[in-house]
Structure 1
C-alpha cells in the first residue's frame, strides 16, 4: 500500500520544523501498516513538489526514518520501507490473560485513605511554616560531601543511629545498648509492611485498634493477613479474649485518632497476652514528642517484659511529611534478619539524607524545633477546645486529650456519613471521619478528627467558624 499523500498535513504556523512534522506523520503510517514492507516511497523531489516543500525538507525526513530503521536507501532506485510488522495473532487462538499474582493483588488492593495535604484541619500534618528550613538546607551540602562513595551500610548510617539513640533516650525513655537493633527505614508504613511479611504467613490473624490508622490496615492486608479489630475503652485498646493472633499493632502513647494514653494496667495485660500466646506487639509511637503531660508515659518497649515488642517511629510528623525517613527498634534475635531484608528490598533512605538528619539532631536543631512546636501546638489545641466549647457545645462533644497533633470531637446530631464527608471536602476541610459505637447505644456515633496543629492562631477562629457552619447546615440546627 503506497504512502497516503492526502493524509499528510503540514502547518507552517507551528513552531515545529516541517521536516519533523512530515517525519511524524510518515512514521505513523509505516508503524500502523498503512505503508507496508518493501513499498517504495516517492522520490524526494516528487514528494517535495507535491507538498510544495523544498527538497531538503523531504531529504531530512527520509534520513530520520532511516535512522529509526524504518526505511533503507536503494541509491538510484529510491527509498524503500524495510519495517515489517509482526504477523497478527490468529483470531481462533485465545488471548492469554495478563494479571498480577495473588500476592500482587493483595498489595495493589491494600489501599488506604489518601490525605489531601492542602486542606484545612487535615490531621497528622505539621505546620511547615514553623520548620527551620534554613538550618536544614544548610546541612545538605555537608551531608552530601560526607556520604560520597557510600554504597551500603547495614541497617543505616552509624552516625544517624548514634544521634537517634540519644534522641530516643531523651524523648521516649528507650535505652538501646546494641546499635544493630536500631534499623533505619523509609517510613512507618514501609516498616509495618516489612514486619508483616517477615513475622507472619498469609492467612494468619493480626489485631488492630478500632478506630485506628488506616495505613496500618493496608500494610497488614498486603501481607494476606486476616484482621481482627478490637474496640477501645477509657484505658485503651482491649486485650483480645479467645483469639490467637500472630501480631498486634498498638498506639499506646497517643492512640490514633482519640489521642488517649493507654493505662499502665492495660499495658501489663497486653504484655502478658503477648508472652502467653507468642504475639508480636508492634508499637507505633508516631507522636510521642507531642505529649502535654508533665511526666509522659514511657514507651511500651521500656517495660522489662517487652521481649516481643517492636517499636517503630517516623520523622514525618515531627519535621516534614515528605521526608520519608523512620526507624524501628527490634529484638536482638531477629535484628540481623530484618536488617538483611531491608537491604534486599532496598528500603533504606538515601545516605546523604540520613547524614543530614544525623547532623540536624547532633547540632540541636531538632530539639529546638520540638520545644517550639510542642508549645505552639499545645496552645492551638487549647484555643481549638475553648472555641468549640463556647460556640459549638450544642453540636459537638469535645474529647479531652493530653497528647498528639489532633483534636477529636463527637457529633451530637444524626448526620449522613457520606454527605458529611463530601460537604467537608467541598468546603476545603481535610478532617477525617470515624464511626465509633458507644457501649450504651446500638447506633454508632460520628467522630471528627481535627488537625489543630496545621492551623495558625490568626486563622483558627475563622476556620472553626466555617466548620461549624457546614455542620449546622447538615444537622439543620441554628447557632445558639
Structure 2
C-alpha cells in the first residue's frame, strides 16, 4: 500500500512573555491561528513536544499541556511513533480562509507574468512545447551531480566565466559583435541590465532617448530612475534620430530595438543606424541596444547588430535567453564597452549578488554541445510556419476589421485597427475572454497613438487552434 507523504510545517510561534496569558494558551492560540489562516493544513506534522520546548526555551510540560488541549479540541491527532499531526477531520469552518479584500491593479497595468499557465496569444513567450526538455534536464542533472563544493558558495557577480566565453563566441559568429568575455555581464533580465548600465554610467538628471512607442515594461523603471525620459518618435525606418537631436541634442543615453522595433516590428535602417552612432560619438552619449529577439528573422539572415558597426565604443549590447530558450531561466546579458568595463565590474560587485551557478553552467553546456544553434534553427522554421498560419486564419476570420501585415521578424503580430476604434476597450474585452491581447496605443507616450492589437503567435501550434482563437477573439470584440 502506497504511503502518503506527510508535510512537516512549523508556523510562527513567537511567545510574548510580557502578556498575562499563560504560555500554553499562547501556544494554543498560535496553532489555531495558523490553521485558520491556512498556514497549517490537515495532515501536516507539527514539531515534537521536546523539539518545540527547546526552540521556545520553555518547560516540556508547558508545551505538552498545549498539545493535549489542542488534541482534546480536535485540532491535533496523535499518531504514536509517527508524531502529532493537524487533524485530517477539521471542521470546514476552521480551515476556511478569511476573505481578504485586496485592491485590484489599475486598468493601466496588464499582468501576464503571474507564474501560472500562460494565456493564449501572450506576448514575449517562446514556443514552450518545442523546447528540448529532455536534453535540458540531462544537462542540468549532470551539473547538479557533479557540482564541486566551491559551487555552493556565492556566484561570480559578473557571471559564470564559461558562459561568458560562450556568449562572446556566439555574438561574434551570429551577430557580428566583437567582444571578449570580460565585457560580458550576466543579468536576470533587461531591467537588471538597465540598472547595471545606469548605475555605471549615468548621473542624476541625464536625458534618456526612449522610442515612442517603445518597450512598455522598460518605461516604468526608467520613469522611476534618476533620468529624464525623452520620448523620440518612431516611423517605418525606426527611431527618428533627427527628432532626437532636436528634442535633446546632448542626451546621455538612447535606447533602441534596432533589429525588430518593439512594438511596431520595423527595422532601424542603415542610414539611421549610422546617424545614431554619429550622434553618440559627437555628444558623448551611450546607446543601449536591446536585441531581444533578433535571432527570429524570417526573411534572409539575421541582421548584424548595431554594436557591430560601433567604431567608437559607445554601444551597450543587451541580449536575453528568455526568448531563445525560455523565460523561466531569468538569464540575460550585457556587453559593456571596453572603456567602461572597469565601472561595470565595480558596480556589478556591489549591485548584483550573481545569478545561480546551476542554470548558468547548464546554459553554457547547452551552447557548448551544439544544442543552442540547432534549437534556434528549428525555432526559426517553426515560427515562420506558425506566424504564416496565424496571420492567414486571423485575417480571414476577422475580415476587414483588422489588417495584419507581417514584419520580417519577431514573436508577435500586430492587427491594425481603424483610427475610430478603441484598442484599449477591445483588448479588455479580449482579456475577459481569456486572451492575452495587448492594445498598441498603450505603448505610446507623446506621439499620436495608433490603434491595434498585439498578439503572440509562438504558442499557437496549428491551424485548428488558430481558428479557435480567432473565433474567440471575434466574439470578444463584438
Shorter-chain TM band: 0.7 to 0.9
Quote the Cα distance in structure 2 between the aligned partners of 1:191 and 1:425.
30
Task: Describe the shift of the 1:147–1:404 C-alpha distance in structure 2 as closer, same or farther (beyond 3 A).
Answer: farther
Within 2, Cα distance between the matches of 1:64 and 1:162? 50
- Higher-Rg member (1/2): 1
The offset of 1:406, in angstroms, is: 0.6
1:143-162 residue pairs with structure 2 within 5 A?
A: 143-144=143-144, 145-146=146-147, 148-150=149-151, 151=153, 152-153=155-156, 155-162=158-165
Counterpart mapping for 1:295-444 below 5 A = 295-412=301-418, 414-435=420-441, 444=449
The superposition leaves residues 400-447 of structure 1 with CA deviations (integer Å, 9 ceiling, x where unpaired) of 300011111111263445432321211111121121899xxx974321
Alignment-derived partner of residue 255 in structure 1: 261
Deviation at 1:146, TM superposition (A): 4.6
Partners of 1:131 and 1:360 in 2: CA distance:
12
Aligned residue number for residue 124 of structure 1 = 124
Aligned residue among 437, 457, 460 for 1:455: 460
Query: Aligned with 1:126: secondary structure?
Result: coil
Query: Corresponding residue for 1:233?
Result: 235
1:149-169 deviation digits (Å, cap 9, x = unpaired): 144446222221222122212
Count the aligned residue pairs: 389
Q: Deviations over 1:123-169 (max 9, x none)?
A: 11011110001100101132232554144446222221222122212
Name the CA shift for 1:193/1:219 in 2 (closer, same or farther; >3 Å): farther
TM-score, normalised to structure 1, is: 0.73
Whether the 8 Å CA contact 2:196–2:351 is kept in 1: the answer is no
Give the 5 Å matches for 1:36-185. 68=56, 113-116=110-113, 118-144=118-144, 145-146=146-147, 148-150=149-151, 151=153, 152-153=155-156, 155-176=158-179, 178-185=180-187
User: What displacement does 1:260 show?
Assistant: 1.1
In 1, distance between residues paired with 2:364 and 2:49? 56
Q: TM-score, normalised by structure 2?
A: 0.74
* Structure 1 residue 223: Cα displacement: 2.2
Determine the C-alpha separation between the residues in 2 that align with 1:238 and 1:27: 64
Unpaired segments ≥5 residues, structure 2: 1-9, 26-47, 62-107
1:187 aligned residue: 189
Q: Whole-Å Cα distance in 1 between the matches of residues 134 and 55 of structure 2? A: 50
Distance 1:71 1:246, change over 3 A: same
Question: In 2, distance between residues paired with 1:183 and 1:35?
Answer: 56
Partner of 1:408: helix, strand, or coil? strand
| Cα 1:72/1:295, change in 2 over 3 Å | closer
Q: CA RMSD in A?
A: 3.3
**Does the Cα contact within 8 Å between 2:424 and 2:439 map onto a contact in 1?**
no
Aligned equivalent of 2:286? 280
Does the aligned pair in 1 maintain the 2:288–2:315 contact within 8 Å?
yes
Secondary structure of 1:409 counterpart: strand
